């Protein structure tokens, strides 16, 4: 050891030992403290309390045993060092259920009782009123219990109480007892989110020590003087009256007494008056100000620029009628600024310039989504490099993304979607985890250079080029959406991407054989390769992607047969192979697609990452997948996508019959097998597909009669059987009649069909099959000619009964003539 280091160490040891000796001499009653143990009658009271606990799965009370006499050492129990009396009982946030035993009353010296977050309650689920008899109680937390009784007036007897937390503790409506005004020592009162109501809060003014008041969620709609009442509690540091249906406050306060206020939450109350006429702008002590969903409007006052203590300003969802031109340069404490869905105008260039410019950079979270901001994205934003999250989605911001983005070394989340941004995406900061720049006019190549990125959404831009090998370094990637761009070439073959969950590449110029990269993506849930130029056969290993729920390979040039292994995908709820060159027969093992059966119907994805449930990613995932249903082009959004149960194999060269097993997919909502070469009968048991809403078998060579069970399908709204060789009497049924009324061509091109709703009578004319066939083929070719005319511009040919479509055109018939529905 270096001599001076040894010296230093010695010094520390010396100092420590002298401190210890002073400590032991300075505090003589140390011995006494050690061995004051609990009093027998208090121990018995605790054991009686334990007897009424019906459930303790974590074994919290396992130390509470008669054999372990010193109850002061039991879990959750704290005693006085001097007297041994139990002073504190804290069992909060434990998984305890049962009744709170009145035996606790024997703990006469109890000062602190915390049962918050447990499943305990009083007798019959009532409030344990005996608790109101404690003489020394200073702290009572019964939050998140679930009492089914009135809040007792006796609470006002707890004259020593300083802290009372009853938030979210009531399951029945109850009036707030005005006797709470007797709790003259109260500093903290939390009654938020209960079924409480009151018509009078004047008792609050007797709480002269009150620093924290939370009455969020309590209906105060009749209390016109609420502002005058709270203004008479000058001790207040934190006030939350969110979601209280507050009446428009009378703004004419002559004097503001709330000079100590640090937190003010008034969100979700309809005020609907100008922002500037609010009463709180002169309170410069405010640090946290939450005004979301208050519908305040007009310009922010200059006083905001003088609120130098402010660290949080929430002003979201206020109906796009506010403006912000205040100079915020001096708000050096500002950490979070949320103005989403509130500004009616604004110039982003000027806005950014007015943000804090302080030596200590604190602004971490800036969110301006859904505003009407225009202007050019500033190229230099040196004063904002402390940001961890920046969100400017759904505005009209133009220009290019600052090349200085790399200097934002703390940035983790960046969302710029739905703007008019152009130019190339610059190099990203290394720490970035979420990037959403979808729906802009960004172009050029993209550098896949943010190694920790988990969510990468570039969809609906004009980004070009191949995906470089560097892409494989993105080992944390979870969701990748490159759809609607001009990416081209083959996907790199990465060793693994363990977390990749959704891979959305639709509508690009990707080519090559079915990407072998996908083989290693064992957690893949969504795969959309539609509208590209992938060719070759579908690999057998596709059946190994055990988590796959949505598979859209439509509009490519895939050929070969459908591998039977695809039916191993027990979670698959969307199978879209339409518009390819797929041949062979439909696998019979389809009934193994359990997610398409009623008993195993898909629910929402449970391992959904948090950002899917927040508004953070506003637009990227809204158009997650598309599927042609009910003759319309549906776009599925984040929430509705989970309820898709679809099979679309249309426009291929499938041969053979429709397997009877298909009917066991009784959770299926949409089935399209049209424009293939399918023969044989429609499965007799098709009526078992109870939930099916749309069935399209048109343009095949199906024969035989239409099964009567079709008329059992009560949800059916679209049925197309046109251009087959079906024969015999059309089954009757109210549902089928309605479906026919909506689409009277649904039986066209089947000249041996007869009976209502067709004019053709079953007894006459129909007995001559030759005649019927001739007529059928005539009609067939006529309509086909018509169809070819419509889809001119890409190759259409005839192959036996099948129509051969090229899948390579983005201006394809369905797309151009259909309606996009964003759900
Ligand atoms: C604590 O224990 C010591 C012996 O270990 C004894 O001398 C002392 O009297 C005890 N104090 C109390 C308060 O019981
Ligand atoms: C509570 O415990 C007492 C005995 O200490 C017992 O008589 C009573 O039935 C228990 N109540 C419930 C609800 O378990
Ligand atoms: C009792 O003494 C221990 C140290 O022995 C100390 O940590 C604790 O705070 C004391 N408790 C009270 C209530 O004074
Ligand atoms: C408790 O309060 C009630 C009503 O507020 C009152 O009638 C009763 O006398 C009080 N009890 C005690 C023990 O102070
Ligand atoms: C408690 O409050 C009630 C009504 O608010 C009042 O009538 C009563 O005198 C108060 N009791 C005490 C002990 O202050
Ligand atoms: C608070 O301000 C009001 C004026 O709005 C005044 O009448 C009242 O005396 C003040 N109250 C306290 C407790 O300071
Ligand atoms: C706030 O301050 C401004 C100027 O500093 C003053 O004109 C106004 O009356 C004050 N408002 C209140 C409610 O105190
Ligand atoms: C502002 O944006 C909102 C939401 O995007 C829109 O409804 C509103 O019409 C826009 N207002 C103006 C003046 O552009
Ligand atoms: C936004 O502000 C900048 C700087 O003041 C200005 O050059 C630009 O023209 C403004 N843009 C719009 C759309 O008002
Ligand atoms: C990024 O930071 C470096 C060093 O701090 C600086 O020289 C450069 O100008 C910055 N780039 C931009 C575009 O702000
Ligand atoms: C799949 O995801 C889960 C959690 O979502 C993760 O624990 C697991 O490691 C992933 N599987 C692979 C092969 O990485
Ligand atoms: C495909 O399924 C068959 C059984 O149906 C199985 O033997 C074979 O190993 C599977 N192949 C792959 C690549 O999963």
70-120 pLDDT tens trace: 899 999 999 998 899 999 999 998 889 999 999 999 999 999 999 999 999
Residue nearest to atom 14 of ligand 10 (CA): 404
Is residue 716, in this structure, part of any structural domain at all? yes
Residue nearest to atom 14 of ligand 5 (CA): 182
Is residue 595, in this structure, part of any structural domain at all? yes
Output the CA torsion sign for 319, 321, 327, 330.
negative
Distance 458 CA to ligand 12 centre (A): 36
Question: Among 332, 366, 399, which residue terminates a domain?
Answer: 399
* Shortest-distance atom of ligand 3 to CA 87: 13
Distance 522 CA to ligand 12 centre (A): 16
What's the pLDDT at 135? 92
- Give the H or E element holding residue 769: helix 769-790
Is the preceding omega at residue 757 within 30 degrees of 0, hence cis?
yes
What's the pLDDT at 120? 92
Rounded-to-integer distance, Cα 803 and Cα 781, Å: 11
Measured in residues, the chain has a length of 823
- Residues at CB less than 6 angstroms from ligand 8: 320, 344, 370, 372
Strand partners, 719: 695
Domain range spanning residue 347? 256-399
369: exposed, middle or buried (C-beta count within 10 Å: 0-12, 13-18, 19+)? buried
What's the pLDDT at 620? 38
Distance 283 CA to ligand 7 centre (A): 10
Q: Which ligand is nearest to the CA of 101?
A: 2
Query: Could you give the percent of the chain with pLDDT greater than 70?
Result: 83
The response to whether residue 153 sits with its C-beta less than 6 Å from ligand 4 reads yes
Residue 328 maps to which CATH number? 3.80.10.10
Residue nearest to atom 10 of ligand 12 (CA): 565
Strand partners, 121: 99
The response to whether residue 253 sits with its C-beta less than 6 Å from ligand 7 reads yes
What's the pLDDT at 482? 93
Distance 442 CA to ligand 10 centre (A): 22
Q: What is the mean pLDDT of the chain?
A: 84
Q: Which residues of 431-464 are buried (b: 16+ CB within 10 A; e: fewer)?
A: ebbbbbbbbbebbbebebbbeebbbbbbbbbebb
Is residue 129, in this structure, part of any structural domain at all? no
- Tokens for 533, please give them: 């130029």
Distance 189 CA to ligand 5 centre (A): 18
Strand partners, 90: 114
Query: Tens of pLDDT along 113-143?
Result: 999 999 998 888 889 999 999 999 999 999 9
Tokens 């959406």 -> residue:
481
The response to whether residue 498 sits with its C-beta less than 6 Å from ligand 11 reads yes
Distance 92 CA to ligand 3 centre (A): 21
The response to whether residue 350 sits with its C-beta less than 6 Å from ligand 9 reads yes
Residue 49 confidence class, pLDDT cut points 50, 70, 90: very high
The response to whether residue 121 sits with its C-beta less than 6 Å from ligand 2 reads no
- Looking at mean pLDDT, say which of 2-16, 681-695, 760-774 comes out highest: 681-695
Residue nearest to atom 2 of ligand 5 (CA): 179
The response to whether residue 234 sits with its C-beta less than 6 Å from ligand 6 reads yes
Residue 822 confidence class, pLDDT cut points 50, 70, 90: very low
- Asked if residue 282 has pLDDT above 60, the reply is yes
Distance 591 CA to ligand 5 centre (A): 72
* Shortest-distance atom of ligand 12 to CA 563: 1
Number of domains in the chain: 2
The response to whether residue 325 sits with its C-beta less than 6 Å from ligand 9 reads no
Is residue 795, in this structure, part of any structural domain at all? yes
Alpha-carbon distance values, 525 to 344, 518, 554, 599, 606 (Å): 39, 11, 17, 20, 12
What's the pLDDT at 92? 93
With CA atoms as reference, report the closest residue to 194 among 230, 158, 149. 149
Question: Among 373, 399, 425, which residue terminates a domain?
Answer: 399
Testing ligand 3's pocket by substitution, the residue of 28, 33, 70 carrying the most ligand atoms inside 8 A of its CB is 33
Alpha-carbon distance values, 366 to 281, 335, 337, 363, 411 (Å): 21, 8, 5, 7, 11
Query: Tens of pLDDT along 625-675?
Result: 554 444 445 556 555 666 788 999 999 999 999 999 999 999 999 999 999
Is residue 226, in this structure, part of any structural domain at all? no
What's the pLDDT at 477? 92
* Shortest-distance atom of ligand 3 to CA 30: 5
Is residue 546, in this structure, part of any structural domain at all? yes
Rounded-to-integer distance, Cα 210 and Cα 236, Å: 6
* Shortest-distance atom of ligand 8 to CA 341: 4
Is residue 516, in this structure, part of any structural domain at all? no
Alpha-carbon distance values, 427 to 402, 407, 430, 592 (Å): 10, 10, 9, 46
Q: Are residues 707 and 560 in the same domain?
A: yes
Alpha-carbon distance values, 468 to 48, 435, 494, 503, 816 (Å): 69, 18, 11, 16, 33
What's the pLDDT at 6? 43
Query: Tens of pLDDT along 712-730?
Result: 899 999 999 999 999 999 9
Distance 70 CA to ligand 3 centre (A): 15
Testing ligand 11's pocket by substitution, the residue of 477, 496, 498 carrying the most ligand atoms inside 8 A of its CB is 498
Question: Among 367, 399, 431, which residue terminates a domain?
Answer: 399
The response to whether residue 260 sits with its C-beta less than 6 Å from ligand 6 reads no
Residue nearest to atom 9 of ligand 3 (CA): 81
Residue nearest to atom 7 of ligand 3 (CA): 81
- Give the H or E element holding residue 20: helix 3-26
Residue nearest to atom 8 of ligand 3 (CA): 81
Residue nearest to atom 9 of ligand 9 (CA): 375
Q: Which ligand is nearest to the CA of 36?
A: 1
Q: Which ligand is nearest to the CA of 254?
A: 6
Q: What share of the chain is helix, strand, coil (3-state, %, to 5)?
A: 25, 20, 55
Is residue 774, in this structure, part of any structural domain at all? yes
Question: Which position has the higher pLDDT, 394 or 21?
Answer: 394
- Tokens for 426, please give them: 């610059």
Least-confidence region, from 428-437, 629-638, 794-803: 794-803
- Asked if residue 537 has pLDDT above 90, the reply is yes
């Amino acid at each position: 050891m270096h001599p001076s280091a040894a010296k230093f160490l010695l010094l520390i040891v010396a100092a420590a030992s002298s401190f210890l000796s002073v400590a032991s001499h300075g505090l003589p009653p140390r011995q006494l403290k050690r061995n004051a143990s609990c009093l027998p009658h208090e121990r018995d009271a605790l054991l009686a309390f334990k007897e009424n606990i019906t459930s303790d799965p974590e074994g919290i009370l396992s130390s509470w045993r008669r054999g372990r006499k010193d109850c002061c050492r039991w879990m959750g129990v704290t005693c006085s060092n001097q007297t041994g009396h139990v002073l504190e009982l804290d069992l909060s946030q434990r998984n305890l259920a049962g009744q709170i035993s009145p035996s606790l009353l024997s703990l006469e010296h109890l000062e602190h009782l915390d049962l918050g977050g447990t499943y305990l309650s009083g007798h019959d689920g009532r409030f344990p009123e005996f608790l109101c008899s404690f003489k020394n109680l200073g702290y009572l937390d019964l939050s998140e219990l679930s009492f089914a009784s009135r809040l007792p007036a006796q609470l006002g007897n707890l004259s020593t109480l300083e802290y009372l937390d009853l938030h979210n503790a009531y399951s029945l409506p109850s009036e707030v007892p005005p006797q709470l005004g007797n709790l003259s020592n109260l500093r903290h009162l939390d009654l938020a989110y209960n079924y409480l109501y009151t018509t009078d809060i004047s008792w609050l003014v007797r709480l002269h020590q009150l620093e924290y008041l939370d009455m969020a969620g309590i209906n105060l709609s009749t209390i016109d003087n609420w502002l005058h009442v709270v203004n008479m509690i000058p001790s207040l540091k934190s006030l939350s009256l969110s979601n209280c249906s507050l009446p428009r406050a009378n703004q004419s306060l002559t004097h503001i007494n709330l000079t100590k206020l640090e937190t003010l939450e008034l969100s979700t109350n309809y005020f609907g008056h100008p922002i500037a006429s609010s009463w709180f702008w002169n309170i410069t002590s405010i640090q946290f100000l939450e005004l979301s969903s208050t519908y305040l409007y007009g310009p922010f006052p200059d006083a905001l620029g003088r609120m130098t203590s402010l660290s949080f300003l929430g002003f979201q969802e206020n109906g796009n009628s506010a403006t912000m031109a205040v100079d915020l340069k001096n708000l050096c404490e500002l950490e979070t600024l949320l103005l989403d869905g509130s500004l009616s105008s604004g110039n982003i260039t000027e806005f950014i310039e007015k943000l804090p410019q302080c030596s200590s950079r604190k602004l971490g979270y800036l969110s301006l989504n859904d505003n009407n901001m225009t202007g050019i994205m500033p190229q230099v934003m040196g004063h904002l490099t402390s940001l961890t999250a920046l969100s400017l989605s759904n505005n009209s911001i133009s220009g290019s993304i600052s090349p200085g983005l790399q200097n934002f070394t703390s940035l983790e989340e960046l969302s710029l979607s739905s703007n008019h941004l152009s130019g190339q995406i610059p190099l990203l900061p290394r720490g970035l985890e979420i990037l959403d720049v979808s729906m802009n006019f960004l172009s050029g190549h993209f550098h896949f250079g943010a190694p920790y990125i988990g969510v990468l959404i570039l969809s609906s831009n004009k980004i070009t080029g191949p995906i470089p090998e560097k892409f494989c370094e993105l080992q944390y990637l979870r969701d990748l959406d490159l759809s609607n761009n001009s990416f081209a070439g083959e996907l790199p073959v990465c060793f693994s991407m363990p977390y990749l969950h959704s891979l959305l590449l639709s509508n690009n110029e990707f080519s090559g054989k079915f990407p072998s990269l996908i083989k290693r993506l064992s957690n893949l849930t969504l795969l959309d390769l539609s509208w590209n130029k992938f060719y070759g056969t579908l690999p057998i290993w596709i059946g190994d992607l055990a988590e796959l729920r949505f598979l859209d390979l439509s509009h490519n040039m895939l050929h070969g047969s459908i591998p039977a292994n695809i039916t191993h995908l027990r979670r698959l709820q969307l199978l879209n192979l339409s518009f390819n060159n797929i041949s062979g027969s439909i696998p019979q093992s389809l009934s193994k697609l359990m997610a398409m059966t009623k008993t195993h119907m898909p629910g929402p994805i449970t391992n959904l990452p948090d950002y899917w449930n927040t508004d953070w990613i506003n637009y990227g995932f809204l158009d997650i997948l598309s599927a042609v249903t009910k003759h319309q082009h549906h776009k599925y959004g984040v929430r509705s996508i989970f309820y898709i149960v679809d099979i679309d194999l249309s426009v291929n060269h499938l041969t053979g019959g429709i397997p009877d097993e298909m009917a066991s997919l009784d959770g299926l909502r949409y089935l399209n097998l049209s424009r293939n070469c399918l023969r044989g009968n429609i499965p007799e048991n098709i009526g078992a597909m109870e939930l099916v809403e749309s069935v399209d078998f048109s343009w095949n060579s199906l024969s035989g009669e239409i099964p009567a069970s079709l008329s059992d399908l009560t949800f059916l709204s679209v049925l197309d059987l046109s251009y087959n060789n079906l024969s015999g009497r059309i089954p009757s049924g109210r549902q089928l009649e309605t479906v026919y009324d909506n689409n009277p061509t649904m039986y066209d091109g089947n000249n041996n069909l007869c009976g209502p709703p067709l004019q053709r009578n079953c007894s006459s004319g129909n007995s001559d099959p030759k005649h019927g066939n001739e007529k059928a083929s005539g009609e067939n070719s006529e309509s086909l000619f018509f169809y070819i005319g419509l889809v001119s511009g890409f190759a259409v040919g005839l192959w036996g009964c099948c129509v051969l479509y090229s899948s390579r055109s983005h201006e394809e018939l369905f797309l151009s003539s259909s309606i996009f529905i964003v759900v």
